[in-house]
Structure 1
Amino acid sequence: MCGNAACKHAHVRAEAQAESERQAELWERVIKLDETLCGAASDPTQTDPLHPIQFRGPHVLGVLPSNDRKLTVLPTRRKTVFVDRLMRIIGEAAAVRFGNVELADDGVGYEESDNASDEHLAILGNGCALCRGHCCPQGSGHAFIHVDTIVKYMESNPGKRPRDVLQDYLSRIGSRTYEDSCVYHCEKGCSLPREMRSKVCNGYLCKGLSEVLYKLGEGSADQALVIAVSDYYPEKKTDPKRGTTDRSGRQQGFVRAGLIDPSGLELYQLTGPDPKVPSVKNCSADDANVSAGSAIRLSADHNDSSPIDSFPET
């Protein structure tokens, strides 16, 4: 692409069109998956207790992003940059907490939703568990921790000195984190408890989860059938092992599917060359001969902890 304005505009339009087509294809996938599973559920010959997904009642559909990054050893330089900033933030927070400095508005408007029911919030948490942190790389280098984050933590823990607060945050940094992501984005999820996270991390909803929440609020459904797909490929953009190709020629990551409700997440993997046309068959996660587009039950009833705080085994 050259620097000409018309060329740039054409590139932006092409990118927008490609993304629109990608989203349309993903919705086609989740609709076909829903039709397949609903059809299998009404099949009297279906005897496998693991398949199909058992819908208890009305459910909504959704398309979510997916974290497909690799776990790597946290580079020393990335940790050093983060810690240097954190120390400065804690110093500023201490001046607010114990001095006469006023807390400045950081301009971040995210707040935890006060309109959603506890059941819907639990569903959203399980949606985050299915995604596994696609949004977390946005916090690389800072974890969205600002002065107000630390002040709030200090107020909740009045007996802690600034150095204690620093140690609390340092002790949560993982030795292995997802590639180019937040220092707290670990294999099992966010290593920070909710009270230590920023208001961005506690309040942000991606477009997919926002749509699921809106649909849940419109009716009586308390379940959501969603798919999650990655768009992250730092290497080998044509590697067939990384996923399938959409209509625009772009690769897409392996699609995970899940039925999420307030009590947990039932996780499935869509595999094969044509996951747009899923089939449900008896198989296990260890089956080496899984048919194209079949759904594999990997785990169920993920409720061992707050869903947004940890990811299911895959």
Structure 2
Amino acid sequence: MACRMAVSRRAEMGEAGFRHYLQILARQREHVAAVASAERAAKLQEGAENAAAWSALRARAELWMRVPRRTQSPSPLAAAPSSPTPLNLLLPSGPPRARPVSNSRRERYRTYLRQIVAEAGQGGQPPATGPVAAAVQASTLPGRLCGFCGGGCCTKGGEQAYLTAAGMRRLMAERPYLSADAVVDAYLAHVPDSPMAGSCINHTRQGCSLPRDMRSDICNRYACDSLQQLQAALSESAPVQTVLVVRRKQDHWHRAELRVDNAINGRAILREDGTRTVRAA
């Protein structure tokens, strides 16, 4: 089809113009092929690095599991049958630095909050929340996984924090005593002095500054591929008890880009009773 379209333009372009046009098409095809080749090479390289890192982590985990440990509050899953096979997971990274929040950023957030609160007040039913599996709720591993990532999926939150009118409608239904202005003020009261740079305005080193019931539906429900794999492994009859995590520099949204540094910047062994970070050999 592309060849027929190119030939159909020959008469209107003339011979010289048509040759130039074909040269442009050839360069475009070469560029697309080069990008695809570079992407394949990068994936192969990262795959080999990940495999080596997981292998080293597995050896460390076997040593760690031989050492008796005491916990103040054992996990309710500790006595349950568990899978002896560790789960290998790959994570992105959240931003490394915090930055004082500017007045202009706070005002952009205020403007957006007023907009969605006003929209929520126009009526409609709040969306229903879905149940979370009991085994996933009981485990400490999802929290440990997200904590080691540091918010790699939060970086597009900006001054909207993934909040929507639908989520506000639910909150306002749960707190009918709050006026629209009071809802906005409640959110502004949780803005940290120094959120993480280049991320959601509510993103701190300790996680989200908002209480769980004030967070967006996206924040409460979203699970990246690695978290989904962990949730599935926890829902098995013999849930996973050891997770080997390799973390790379880029966030969730930029990790596939070719011209960025996405080297491994963290390794960890996660268990119900603790997290052990491992330095590169």
So what's the TM-score if we normalise by structure 2? 0.72
Please report how far the alpha carbon of residue 123 of structure 1 lies from its aligned counterpart in structure 2 after TM superposition: 2.5
Question: Does 2:147 align with 1:81?
Answer: no
Aligned partner of residue 136 in structure 1, secondary structure: coil
Q: Deviations over 1:42-78 (max 9, x none)?
A: 5xxx79999xxxxx75353222223242111123333
Other-structure match for 1:259:
270
1:22 alignment partner AA: E
Please report how far the alpha carbon of residue 86 of structure 1 lies from its aligned counterpart in structure 2 after TM superposition: 1.4
Other-structure match for 2:225:
207
- Structure 2: segments with no counterpart, 5+ residues: 1-23, 72-77, 252-258
Q: In the TM superposition, what are the counterparts of 1:59-208 in structure 2 within 5 Å? A: 60-61=86-87, 62-96=89-123, 102=124, 112=130, 114-115=132-133, 117-119=135-137, 122-208=140-226
- When residues 47 and 168 of structure 1 are mapped into structure 2, their CA distance, relative to the original with a 3 A threshold, is closer
Other-structure match for 2:38:
14
2:50 alignment partner AA: L
Other-structure match for 2:53:
29
- In the alignment, the residues of structure 1 paired with residue 166 and residue 238 of structure 2 have an alpha-carbon distance, to the nearest angstrom, of 37
Please report how far the alpha carbon of residue 84 of structure 1 lies from its aligned counterpart in structure 2 after TM superposition: 1.3
- In the alignment, the residues of structure 1 paired with residue 119 and residue 260 of structure 2 have an alpha-carbon distance, to the nearest angstrom, of 49
Identity %: 23
Name the count of aligned residue pairs.
Answer: 238
So what's the TM-score if we normalise by structure 1? 0.65
Moved more, 2-11 or 181-190: 2-11
Q: In the TM superposition, what are the counterparts of 1:196-235 in structure 2 within 5 Å? A: 196-232=214-250
- Kindly indicate which of the two structures has a greater share of residues assigned to helix: 2
- Structure 1: segments with no counterpart, 5+ residues: 51-55, 97-101, 234-247, 276-292, 294-314
- When residues 161 and 133 of structure 1 are mapped into structure 2, their CA distance, relative to the original with a 3 A threshold, is same
2:118 alignment partner AA: G
- Kindly indicate which of the two structures has a greater share of residues assigned to strand: 1
Q: Which has the larger radius of gyration?
A: 2
Please report how far the alpha carbon of residue 94 of structure 1 lies from its aligned counterpart in structure 2 after TM superposition: 1.5
Aligned partner of residue 121 in structure 2, secondary structure: helix
Aligned partner of residue 212 in structure 1, secondary structure: helix
- In the alignment, the residues of structure 2 paired with residue 140 and residue 222 of structure 1 have an alpha-carbon distance, to the nearest angstrom, of 35
Other-structure match for 1:99:
none
- When residues 164 and 16 of structure 1 are mapped into structure 2, their CA distance, relative to the original with a 3 A threshold, is farther
RMSD: 3.4
2:59 alignment partner AA: E
Please report how far the alpha carbon of residue 112 of structure 1 lies from its aligned counterpart in structure 2 after TM superposition: 4.9
Question: Does 2:62 align with 1:38?
Answer: yes
